[in-house]
């Protein structure tokens, strides 16, 4: 028992140290943050250059075949691309609309030009700025011109959430979101069969 307590204490110490390091990095990042210039979006240039570097010698048909297998269809993106099509050169794009990047270098994934809205440096994915971090986005009845910038929208979500403390909430799982992957389907099916348990 003493050994277990010693291990737990040591683990807690490590967690505190790691937590302090993470907090320090966050604080440092916030202090160094410089907002992007909206007139030219120059803050994205270094990210784009880093993401395109693996493809500096071009993209092969084989690489694009891999990329195509990782891309997903999204009516919203198709809508905007169709509107821009006359202004764009003849090209093909592989766009990942999932919530996670696709091609991890460390896992041995092949290099391929997949556009993703989230990634780390461990991935070959080419990051693009998602509408949710800027403005626009899907138009819904509550927001007929699009839900707008996520950084501003989440403030209103947080304010609304404060009106509903846990004691006032129902004991029911709740989900609203797009069908970005088949993994979400079982939740919808469960909601249909057990509506008292899940609302999805």
3-state secondary structure 130-150: CHHHCCCCCCECCECCCCCCH
Tokens of 82: 């169709």
* Per-residue pLDDT, 3: 63
Cα–Cα distance, 108 to 16 (Å, whole number): 33
Distance, CA of 50 to CA of 40 (rounded, Å): 18
> Which has more confidence, 178 or 84?
84
Share of the chain above pLDDT 70, in %: 77
> Do 104 and 159 fall within a single domain?
no
**Structural domain contains residue 1:** no
**Residue 162, in any domain of the structure:** yes
Q: Between 108 and 9, where is the model more confident? A: 108
- 194 and 120, same structural domain? no
| 154 lies in the same domain as 121 | no
The reply to whether 32 falls in a domain is: no
Examine the domain organization and report whether 118 and 155 are in the same domain. Answer: no
Nearest to 66 by CA among 114, 106, 99: 114
More confident residue, 5 or 39: 39
How many Å apart are CA 188 and CA 178, to the nearest integer? Answer: 11
What sign results for the dihedral spanned by CA atoms 95, 101, 106, 109?
A: negative
Domain assignment present for 24? no
Q: What is the mean pLDDT of residues 147-173?
A: 82
Q: Do 96 and 53 share a structural domain? A: yes
pLDDT per residue over 87-142, tens digit each?
Answer: 989 888 899 888 789 999 999 999 999 999 889 999 999 998 765 555 555 556 66
8 Å CB contact between 177 and 199? no
Same domain, yes or no, for 110 and 155? Answer: no
Quick check: 17 pLDDT over 60? yes
Closest C-alpha among 44, 55, 73, 57 to residue 113: 55
122 inside domain: yes
Catalytic residues: 99
Q: Are residues 73 and 114 in the same domain?
A: yes
pLDDT value at position 50?
93
Lowest mean pLDDT of 60-69, 73-82, 93-102, name the range. 73-82
Number of neighbouring beta carbons within 10 Å of residue 182 = 7
Q: Report if residue 63 sits inside a domain.
A: yes
HSE at residue 147, side-chain half, CA atoms within 13 A, is: 15
- For residues 122 and 49, state if they share a domain: yes
> What's this model's pTM, rounded to 2 decimal places?
0.60
10 within some domain: no
Range of 95's domain?
Answer: 42-129
How many folded domains does the chain comprise?
Answer: 2
Whether 180 is in a domain gets the answer yes
59, HSE (Cβ side, Cα atoms, 13 Å): 18
Residues 6+ apart with CB under 8 A from 102: 70, 96, 109, 114, 116, 123, 125
């Amino acid at each position: 028992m003493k050994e277990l307590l010693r291990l737990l204490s040591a683990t807690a110490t490590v967690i505190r140290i790691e937590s302090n390091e993470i907090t320090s990095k966050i604080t440092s990042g916030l202090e160094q943050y410089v907002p992007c210039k909206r007139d030219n979006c120059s803050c994205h240039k270094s990210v784009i250059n880093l993401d395109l570097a693996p493809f500096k010698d071009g993209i092969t048909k084989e690489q694009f075949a891999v990329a195509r297998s990782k891309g997903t269809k999204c009516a919203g993106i198709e809508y905007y691309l169709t509107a821009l099509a006359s202004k764009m050169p003849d090209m093909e794009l592989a766009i990942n609309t999932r919530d996670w990047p696709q091609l991890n270098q460390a896992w041995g994934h092949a290099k391929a030009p997949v556009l993703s809205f989230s990634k780390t440096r461990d991935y070959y994915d080419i990051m693009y700025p998602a509408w949710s971090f800027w403005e626009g986005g899907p138009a819904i009845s509550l927001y007929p011109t699009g839900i707008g910038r996520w950084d501003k929208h989440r403030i209103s979500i947080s304010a609304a959430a404060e009106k509903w403390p846990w004691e006032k909430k129902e004991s029911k799982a709740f989900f609203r979101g797009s069908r970005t992957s088949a993994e979400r389907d079982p939740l919808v099916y469960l909601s249909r069969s057990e509506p008292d348990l899940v609302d999805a």
